[in-house]
Chains A and B, each alone.
Chain A
Amino acid sequence: MQALYAQLLVGLINGSFYALLSLGLAVIFGMLNIINFAHGALYMMGAFCAYFLLNLLGINYWWALLIAPIAVGIFGMILERTLLQWLAGLDHLYGLLLTFGLALIIQGVFQNYFGSSGLPYSIPDVLKGGMNLGFMYLPVYRGWVVVFSLIVCLATWFLIERTRLGAYLRAATENPTLVRAFGINVPRMITLTYGLGVGLAALAGVLSAPINQVRPLMGENVIIVVFAVVVIGGMGSIMGSIITGFALGVIEGLTKYFYPEASNTVVFVLMVLVLLVKPTGLTGRAA
């Protein structure tokens, strides 16, 4: 039973990353109509940012949680202003191709300087150790990742679904021209939205740095799983992305316990099943 709970926890942690990443993808897709292939590379940049902050500047984990998403978010906003904005009005596929190219560039540059091996990032002192919950041993840091991700996801949901800014955002997703006519600066909102989505990816990167090590290709496979998550959940609903992300992480964790050979593939197999049964995705409307 211990092993089952341990794998469930690993599943929840991976689910946290899937949720944060697919949430960012959904937010970006809603505003920019772009599937951000560079999301995995930006997640990796978040982890590297934390690593640099600690090892070059001596800035600790807690500040990295704040600074890394902002820094990578600003980097993302520069990308949006200089490159992505020219794609407005073109076929969605060009956005995918452009961001795929960006991912190649970013990952290639990091690989060139840091190779393919992992760099260690130690867990902050406060979150070291573990708690005995009676039925299982809970490493504090892992519990923290799950709880904190959940809070960030819900905060993002609240921001978009329950605040005035979020209302503008949703309105601009539906009809940008009309929202512009009301005097709202839609291009700036698009830039900020991209920054927000990218910042969420970078935050996931910082959270994963002590668990998965900091590697140039750490986002390469994750992003493809997240694509499958997005296909399963559909991108129409923020809460849908969050729930699907966590749920698939848990399912993956359970698979690791019951049938480890399939743990790499279970999400993709589920995607196939969902497509066969409900082609529009679990929460999505027809594309």
Chain B
Amino acid sequence: MRNEMVVFGIMAALLAIVPWTGIYPFFVMQALCFALLACAFNLLIGYGGLLSFGHAMFLGTAGYCSAHALKVWGLPPELGIIVGTAAAAVLAAVTGYVSIRRQGIYFAMITLALSQLLYFIYLQAPFTHGEDGIQGIPQGYLFGVLNLANATILYYVILAGFLFGFLVIFRTINSPFGEVLKSIRENEQRAISLGYKTDQYKLLAFILSGTLAGLAGALKVFVAQNASLTDVEVAMSGQIVLMTLVGGLGTVFGPVVGAFIIIAMQQYLASAGQWVNVIQGVIFVACVLTFRRGIVGEFAHYFRLSL
């Protein structure tokens, strides 16, 4: 717990000085949104043992709802973020209620199928504008004063959102609730026999995870200024899994590291076309066969730290 706090301080400080380093801020903002998304996903798989193969549905739903609220309803940014996050929370409550009825491999297949269901709904629903998506979303003034069209101000707002979400997850996994969640991961039958209503714990974790994934989706709208079908696709869910796997399942900082690596790789290989998918596939295979702890997990294991 103590060295986790130290690492958190270092991470926050490093991220805070980014605008003065000359690093392209939009790259870091995008990576931060995905880092929060991966952290939210990791809360389920790393601590609850539930592999959601449909987390893109929260990203996409929050993105569409925020974008619609900002552009069509003309709401200010803070309300736009709340609308998107709340929509993801409602979606998580419904999909969680359905999917926690099965364990393990079935849970993964159910979440995957549910996200595909939403994909087809968004493909046909008029407000998403189908293949075009919602474009040209106004960034506006947060709380009426902070001009989000300014890259530096936007960067700090995104960073604040990320750190908030990260701390919520960090607090959750170190709470009694988090301990029960871990016990469900290790042995659900025993947790039940000890009197815990594991379904309620799993549902709550699912809602929390989906809501924070929604927050990431709502924040991403201000960075990308669009909301499109790519955010709801199965491929996106796969990328979330990949980020977390590369960084380290069940580690606090792994998803952040993984998200930065995968986003950087995509930027770097943007011209390589379909080979990006092939490379991601190879990383998947290599990670599963030789590197199951992920980067942060291996590091923590080697130095006997808890990260």
Interface residues of A (CB under 8 A from B): 29, 35, 83, 86-87, 90, 92-94, 96-98, 100-109, 111-112, 220-221, 224-225, 227-228, 230-231, 261, 264-265, 268-269, 271-272, 275-276, 279-280, 287
Task: Name B's interface SS.
Answer: helix
Would A101 and B288 count as touching, CB distance under 8 A? yes
Q: What are some 28 contacts across the A-B interface (CB < 8 A)?
A: A35-B108, A90-B292, A92-B105, A93-B45, A100-B238, A101-B280, A101-B281, A101-B282, A102-B281, A102-B285, A104-B238, A105-B278, A105-B281, A107-B277, A108-B277, A109-B274, A112-B278, A224-B112, A231-B110, A264-B120, A268-B116, A275-B101, A276-B98, A276-B101, A279-B102, A280-B102, A287-B104, A287-B105
Among A83, A86, A94, A228, the residue within 8 A (CB) of B109 is A228
- A230→B113 CA distance, assembly (Å): 11
Would A104 and B106 count as touching, CB distance under 8 A? no
Among A87, A112, A276, the residue within 8 A (CB) of B274 is A112
Which of A35, A103, A272, A280: most chain B Cβ within 10 A?
A272
B26 touches A (CB below 8 Å) = no
Would B101 and A105 count as touching, CB distance under 8 A? no
Would B277 and A92 count as touching, CB distance under 8 A? no
1/0 contact string of B19-62 vs chain A (CB within 8 Å)? 00000000000000000000000000100000101000000000
CB distance from A273 to the nearest CB of B (A): 10
B262 touches A (CB below 8 Å) = no
18 further contact pairs, Cβ within 8 A, besides A35-B109, A111-B274: A86-B289, A92-B104, A93-B45, A96-B105, A98-B289, A101-B283, A103-B281, A108-B281, A112-B278, A224-B112, A224-B113, A227-B109, A227-B112, A230-B109, A261-B124, A265-B121, A268-B120, A272-B114
- A29→B104 CA distance, assembly (Å): 13
Given A83-B285, A97-B245, A272-B98, A227-B113 contact (CB < 8 Å)? yes
B265 touches A (CB below 8 Å) = no
Residue of B nearest to A90 (CB): B292
Q: Which residues of A contact B99 (CB under 8 A)?
A: 275
Would B102 and A287 count as touching, CB distance under 8 A? yes
Residue of A nearest to B53 (CB): A96
Q: Which residues of A contact B284 (CB under 8 A)?
A: 97-98, 100-101, 104
Q: Which residues of B contact A100 (CB under 8 A)?
A: 238, 241, 281, 284
Would B277 and A271 count as touching, CB distance under 8 A? no
- A264→B121 CA distance, assembly (Å): 9
CB distance from B108 to the nearest CB of A (A): 6
Q: Which residues of B contact A271 (CB under 8 A)?
A: 110, 113
Residues B224-259 near A (CB distance < 8 A): 234, 238, 241, 245
Among A90, A111, A264, A275, the residue within 8 A (CB) of B110 is A275
Q: Which residues of A contact B108 (CB under 8 A)?
A: 35, 93, 96
CB distance from B276 to the nearest CB of A (A): 8
Q: Which residues of B contact A103 (CB under 8 A)?
A: 281
Q: 8 closest pairs, A vs B, by CB?
A: A101-B284, A104-B281, A105-B281, A108-B277, A108-B278, A268-B117, A279-B101, A228-B113
B103 touches A (CB below 8 Å) = yes
B273 touches A (CB below 8 Å) = yes
B275 touches A (CB below 8 Å) = yes
Which of B234, B276, B288: most chain A Cβ within 10 A?
B288
Given A83-B289, A103-B281, A272-B98, A108-B275 contact (CB < 8 Å)? yes
